[in-house]
Structure 1
């Protein structure tokens, strides 16, 4: 297990204040995506100081252009879909999220409705998914018609100390109407309880997305848990550049499924806005794309939503799936428009990557082959499908949040 001193927050090297401080015991869970810099803005929530105006915030959301959001909204805006954000809570009073956030729950302070956020992390994630589209200012989500179900598991330090809390949150989200779950958190330690909860989500036809995590070069580590659990869409982050480069702090590996923009993203936070980076903020862009697909085809199974996302991804790196980018960068337009043959089961829940154990009940088939899985999962790629490479101009990033094993105190960026 990686020690906290070898870890780095989702903040970039220019963020010296977002650090993990080694403590006693084990770190059981943290969020891995953090601000690179604060951005004050005009906001009903009360931005502080002179900074970017809300319309500048809208203009700086480069990921929407990179993912051709305006074109995607011709087919779907996410309406009718509930996305659970299992995180630090969501500030439902933020003007960009007003009316977008359902009553949720709080596993840190039982009795709460999940609509308070002492950290800002969950609010940023929610805004990237479902920021309001009824004006021309502030943060605009990739699936602005979707609703957010806030489920708080991270405390005021952006930590949790028991993966069973996240497991309970997954089950609660499923039982309260979520058809997409975003987990922008993780860590190095696997959890049988959380694996069982994820199996419950799969059995109930829910799409689960998680970030691969962040690392501190030159100390790379495995993809974090629960992103490495079979069946989960594990998302890594891309930098703000030419669209083909991994964000410098992103973890990646055999379990990586998709990539998405994860750097220099302007996000909503209680009181205003800030610029963030990390795999935590790439994952919600994939969750939002899943919401777009589920909105267009309400009867489509989760297995076929997952299959559609990976079959239509814009290939990066070597042709086909690789250990750096997975199947490539998520492509909302392709996912909503291309013809993709149906599958009977989640193509990600076949054979675990070499050396990886499967904790859940619904284990992978011992006879299935990875090659067969890839053939089912990417029918378009066999014909050389690389939609985003041809369509997108500049860099793309992926967002991930991590949970998992060994004690430290995570200091919030100020």
Structure 2
């Protein structure tokens, strides 16, 4: 009798071992411990607590139940990265792996329609509809999945509903402000060079380089159709012989299933300011000039504002990175937007653009009332990007009142005066001016500096340009623990 029991037990263990790998294909083998999803309040509290205690929140380190809860609370849409690489061209099995993933979803969801929302043509990344926790558990067991994340969980929107934020955190504004005469220097033929240009020796650097022949890609909220200096008058005065191209890859809808881009026009104001800081023209109209006033611009309306919250904003940024990566004319990419935690599809897009040789600058972070506990934000913390933050006038290690700092910062830019004034830029409206601050303008300005260096040395590689910028900065060769290489002396960088 004991012998028979022994054989039965052995058969059981052998059967179990043989079928363990097939567990994901058998819906009956997935055990769900927690049936109800967490509330948005519980999810946000968990994210905030993790950032405060560990410094960073990771989807990969989260439980199956937590991931499913965020998917459930985010229109039941998930983003999946798969394969051995982010790049489809580097993974010959990408179609087979994608089909396998969709098959597993179909089995666990019990349906075959309205599962696949989108499949990226350049990246090993898809967006899918998922309702069941069992599906999440099964997918996370698959060896070919690099990440599984919510694709439409709106962290910032939920913080706002909980009373922890305000609309002021969006970075938008259409204001126009008269400039103080002490905040600019008039340069020929009659342009206003912001005060920071003197601090970084940019005006003197123009004797060697104006950015000609270099194209900067700006990923933001678009460019104002009412600002002719970033339109029909972009190519005039001392800025003749260049081009601006405006693109839109943002879908203005709360529903993930919606399609149709809403065009390249800025409906926030932020993107207009960033384009101005980087490359506004130098002419006789008495308006603020950009750092690289002779460089070309390729702008992308990829999001509605600086907070990359929700499906269409994150998808738009991903698309912008891949398209700029594929644009052989673009050498530099500047993005003054981000999130307090990583977004897999954007990370893939950044890596894709980087693999194409692009020099990428991202904002280190600008605080709102509820994110001042966050260090350097995503994607600025990625090794493929250069993280930029703003500092106070005449310093390289005193961050601006709303800026972030940390070990991932690569360069700083002086953008806050003792008076409280920041950087003069073109307004959203033609013939008017404004001020813009934070790590946003620091990033766009530093991208312009890179254009000056690359224009002076057109045969250089990305790494050569970056090394010259480092060698011309405050803390070279030993970066500061929170402010990287510090402020760049642009004249030295172009000599």
TM-score normalised by the chain length of structure 1:
0.66
The Cα shift of 1:54 comes to: 12
Matched, 1:165 2:316: yes
Change (3 A) 1:312 1:2: farther
Matched, 1:180 2:318: no
Matches of 1:130 and 1:313, distance apart in 2: 22
Matches of 1:105 and 1:127, distance apart in 2: 16
The Cα shift of 1:320 comes to: 2.2
Structural mapping, 1:119-138, within 5 Å: 119-135=268-284, 137-138=286-287
Matched, 1:65 2:198: yes
Residue of structure 2 equivalent to 1:335: 493
Could you tell me which runs of 5 or more consecutive residues in structure 1 were left unpaired when the two chains were aligned: 7-18, 42-51, 338-414
The Cα shift of 1:334 comes to: 1.7
Higher helix share: 2
The Cα shift of 1:174 comes to: 2.2
The Cα shift of 1:64 comes to: 1.3
Change (3 A) 1:60 1:290: closer
Change (3 A) 1:297 1:288: same
The Cα shift of 1:102 comes to: 2.2
Give the root-mean-square deviation of aligned CA atoms: 3.6
Change (3 A) 1:332 1:2: farther
- Of residues 464, 468, 475, the one that matches 1:315 is 475
Change (3 A) 1:216 1:320: farther
The Cα shift of 1:143 comes to: 0.4
**More deviation, 73-82/174-183:** 174-183
Could you tell me which runs of 5 or more consecutive residues in structure 2 were left unpaired when the two chains were aligned: 1-46, 53-155, 236-242, 252-259, 417-421
Matches of 2:222 and 2:368, distance apart in 1: 27
Matched, 1:207 2:359: yes
Q: Is the 8 A contact 2:395 2:414 kept in 1?
A: no
Q: Is the 8 A contact 2:308 2:338 kept in 1?
A: no
Matches of 1:31 and 1:77, distance apart in 2: 34
Larger relative contact order (C-alpha < 8 A, sep ≥ 6)? 1
Runs of 4 or more consecutive aligned structure 1 residues displaced over 3 Å after TM superposition = 24-27, 30-38, 52-60, 109-113, 156-160, 216-219, 240-244
Three-state SS of the structure 1 residue aligned to 2:409 is coil
Matches of 1:237 and 1:38, distance apart in 2: 22
Matched, 1:77 2:215: no
Matched, 1:285 2:479: no
Residue of structure 1 equivalent to 2:135: none
Matched, 1:198 2:350: yes
Matches of 1:150 and 1:26, distance apart in 2: 32
Q: Deviations over 1:335-378 (max 9, x none)?
A: 112xxxxxxxxxxxxxxxxxxxxxxxxxxxxxxxxxxxxxxxxx
Matched, 1:226 2:383: no
Question: What is the count of residue pairs matched by the alignment?
Answer: 309
Matches of 1:278 and 1:203, distance apart in 2: 29
Matches of 1:170 and 1:330, distance apart in 2: 26
Change (3 A) 1:158 1:137: farther
Three-state SS of the structure 2 residue aligned to 1:180 is strand
TM-score normalised by the chain length of structure 2:
0.56
Residue of structure 2 equivalent to 1:23: 161
Matches of 1:188 and 1:313, distance apart in 2: 28
